Amino acid sequence: MSISKEQASYIAELTRLELKENEIEGFVADLDKIINYVDTINQLDTTDVETTEHILDLKNVTREDVVAPSLSIEEVLKNAPEQEMNCFKVPRVLE
Amino acid sequence: MKLETLTIHEIVDLLKNKEISYSEVVDSVLKQIEGQNEKYGAYLYTDPDGVREQAKALDDKGVTPQNPLYGIPYGLKDNFCTDHMPMTCASKMLENFRPPYNATAYESIKNAGGILLGKTNMDEFAMGSSTETSYFKVTKNPWDLTKVPGGSSGGSAAAVAANMAYYSLGTDTGGSIRQPSSFCATVGLKPTYGLVSRYGVTAFASSFDQVGPITKDITDCALVLNAIAGHDAKDTTSLNLDKKDYTQCLTKDIKGLKVGICDSFMGDNLQPEIRAAIDAAIEVYRDLGAEIVPVCAQFLDHALAAYYIISSAEASTNMSRYDGVRYGYRAEDYNDLEEMYNKTRSEGFGLEVKRRIILGSYVLSSGYYDAYYNKATRVRTMIREDFNRMFDSCDVLLTPTTANTAFGLGERTDDPLAMYLTDVYTVPANIVGAPALSMPCGFDKNGLPIGLQLMGPVLCEETILKAAFAFESATDFHTQQPKID
């Protein structure tokens, strides 16, 4: 299995990353080496083996809906790159 | 007396007996930071004035230490949120981020009276094995300025090794506490997954990430674990168990303890001096009355591949939150929302983080999901079964922490796969969620530290600490100091 420059660029686009033209060749070559390495797990027969997504027996954790103190709007917004009227501000999405 | 070279438990005894003041304690490490941090680059941020004020207040009140961490200054890896310091994760993405809340592990130490010195350098978002992917600075190994300190908690290990902190906290996703501890001759513990709260700790690979201590000896390790282990309602993966006193198990009697040795951890690539150090450690255990048991694993050779698939998949998901909307870096010139996302993420993340996001999205993408992510989760099951079988016949596994001692700065930065292979002996503990500890067990011919790893079954921290304490009591590797002017 190996990854092409086109595939890598497509995945990059999906993840909202742009690769610079001068770094893409090396990037894809490294990625290809890594993918060839991790592909070795396909030598193993995993028929009838269950998956482990998590080592704990994950359960939904619920609690009573009780009002408790929370962060102030100022605190929540203090790291916002742009804000307006107590909201996070982003470029217009709908015309 | 060089106070800064002492351990937590030695300092607390001096404080209790009023032989030294809190101000003298903080000054001892602040003096080291002021003199050495520029050279070693362990810290990204320190707060000397705040630290001196806190110590002076304790001196003015004349209080005796209320518990073993009381008044002891420490360092925190820069992926823990604290509301009075920046948190950058060593990334341009969070260069100006000020957390509005505190990580639970930090709160626990604060409640125990600990004094936070500052935030330590790390690989960007903890993705790396040498601390070289930090956006801000290079951290150097206190044992040799031309070598890496390991990573990703390289700043935390270097700070302790160079006596710029009495202890520190790190995070370990695939070895990020143990590998730098091995390279810097500190004690580093990755506890069982879920034992320490991850609340307020920046997520990298959520099913592997765990918080743990980096200390100068095993007693200190147990003391810090006492403070940070415990249930936290704010972390849904936090285990709800009774609190323990991990110092209780620190007896030297390990007669009959079954120490497992597994060939999968002693590959052909193992540096000969490390093999010799491990062989010598096995003899120490034999002399202490432990039973040495050969055990074997079938699927461990595939652990690293499974780890990089699953951890990158989880990382790609976790990294999606950095979009320039609510906090963190936002690019300057953009015409629409999509361009804002693209430019923000492309300019804000470094190359290694981009590599993990793209690798992670690739192994999760339709067409490749079954061959990679899904397959790796099945291999994870097989590796868990491997460990269950091994721990049926032994109490702890004894392995080297790394196959090589600290490598040169820049030596592996151009070869990401070679960098990934650094973690080959540490990732299995994260895959199975089990506790594992690294402690010094020798030095190579160039004087670089060698680390011994002890792994145990899930929630068997006490067995590991007991075995580690017995080894430490029989050897003097932990007392060695790097040559620092």
Contact between B158 and B149 (Cβ < 8 Å): yes
Alpha carbon distance B158, B150 (integer Å): 9
Nearest alpha-carbon partner for B117 in B32, B48, B37: B48
Nearest beta carbon to residue B375 from set A34, A46, A55: A46
In B, minimum Cα distance to A51 occurs at: B378
Asked if B317 has any chain A CB less than 8 Å from its own CB, the reply is no
A85 in any annotated domain: no
Name the phi and psi angles at B457, rounded to 5.
-65, 165
Alpha carbon distance A10, A3 (integer Å): 11
Cβ distance A39 to B305 less than 8 Å, yes or no, reads yes
pLDDT at position B420 is 95
Cβ distance A37 to B336 less than 8 Å, yes or no, reads no
Nearest alpha-carbon partner for A30 in A47, A5, A60: A5
Asked if B418 has any chain A CB less than 8 Å from its own CB, the reply is no
A86 in any annotated domain: no
Sign of the Cα torsion B197, B200, B206, B211 reads negative
Alpha carbon distance B25, B8 (integer Å): 10
Check if B152 is active-site: yes
- Please, which residues bridge with residue B399 across strands? B453
Cβ distance A76 to B100 less than 8 Å, yes or no, reads yes
Contact between A3 and A12 (Cβ < 8 Å): no
Measure in Å the smallest separation between the Cα of B23 and chain A Cα atoms.
Answer: 33
Q: Which two tokens stand for residue B213?
A: 């201590």
Cβ distance B345 to A17 less than 8 Å, yes or no, reads yes
| B371 contacts in chain A (CB < 8 Å) | 1, 39, 42
| B417 contacts in chain A (CB < 8 Å) | 30, 33-34, 37
CATH number of B3-252+438-443: 3.90.1300.10
Alpha carbon distance B288, A95 (integer Å): 76
pLDDT at position B485 is 62
Helix, strand or coil, per DSSP, at residue A58: coil
- Please, which residues bridge with residue B46 across strands? B118
Asked if B343 has any chain A CB less than 8 Å from its own CB, the reply is yes
Nearest alpha-carbon partner for B157 in B139, B144, B137: B139
Cβ distance B378 to A49 less than 8 Å, yes or no, reads yes
pLDDT digits over B105-146, tens only? 999 999 999 999 999 999 999 999 999 999 999 999 999 999
Per the structure, the complete domain to which residue A13 belongs is given by 5-43
A34 in any annotated domain: yes
Task: Give chain B's residues under pLDDT 50.
Answer: none
A93 in any annotated domain: no
Check if B91 is active-site: no
For residues A65-73, give the mean pLDDT: 93
Q: Report the residue of B87, B358, B377 to disrupt the A interface, i.e. the one with the largest count of A CBs within 10 Å.
A: B358
Instruction: Report the range of poorest mean pLDDT among A12-16, A58-62, B206-210, B301-305.
Output: A58-62
Question: Which residues have C-beta within 8 Å of that of residue A88, sequence separation ≥ 6?
Answer: A77, A80, A82, B325, B326
DSSP for residue A88: E
Cβ distance B302 to A51 less than 8 Å, yes or no, reads no
pLDDT at position B271 is 97
A92 in any annotated domain: no
Average pLDDT of the residues of chain A: 92
| A49 contacts in chain B (CB < 8 Å) | 378, 381-382
Nearest beta carbon to residue A31 from set B98, B327, B355: B355
Can you give the three-state secondary structure of chain B, one letter per residue?
A: CCHHHCCHHHHHHHHHCCCCCHHHHHHHHHHHHHHHHHHHCCEEEECHHHHHHHHHHHHHHCCCCCCCCCCCEEEEECCECCCCCCCCCCCHHHCCCCCCCCCHHHHHHHHCCCEEEEEECCCHHHCCCCCCCCCCCCCCECCECCECCCCCCHHHHHHHHCCCCCCEEEEECCCCCHHHHHHHCCEEEECCCCCECCCCECCCCCCCCEEEEEECCHHHHHHHHHHHECCCCCCCCCCCCCCCCCCCCCCCCCCCCEEEEEHHHCCCCCCHHHHHHHHHHHHHHHHCCCEEEEECCCCHHHHHHHHHHHHHHHHHHHHHHCCCCCCCCCCCCCCCHHHHHHHHHHHHCCHHHHHHHHHHHHHHCCCCCHHHHHHHHHHHHHHHHHHHHHHHHCCEEEEECCCCCCCECCCCCCCHHHHHHCCCCCHHHHHHCCCEEEEEEEECCCCCEEEEEEECCCCCHHHHHHHHHHHHHHCCHHHCCCCCC
pLDDT digits over B396-447, tens only? 999 999 999 999 999 999 999 999 999 999 999 999 999 999 999 999 999 9
In B, minimum Cα distance to A54 occurs at: B207
Measure in Å the smallest separation between the Cα of B20 and chain A Cα atoms.
Answer: 40
Alpha-carbon distances, residue B76 vs A85, B96, B175, B215 (angstroms): 36, 18, 17, 12
How large is the ipTM? 0.96
pLDDT at position A1 is 59
Contact between B210 and B196 (Cβ < 8 Å): yes
Check if B176 is active-site: yes
Q: How many domains does chain A have?
A: 1
Of B28, B134, B152, B197, the active-site residue reads: B152
| A54 contacts in chain B (CB < 8 Å) | 207, 237
pLDDT digits over A20-50, tens only? 888 899 999 999 999 999 999 999 999 999 9
Alpha-carbon distances, residue B392 vs B197, B231, B387, B454 (angstroms): 29, 28, 8, 16
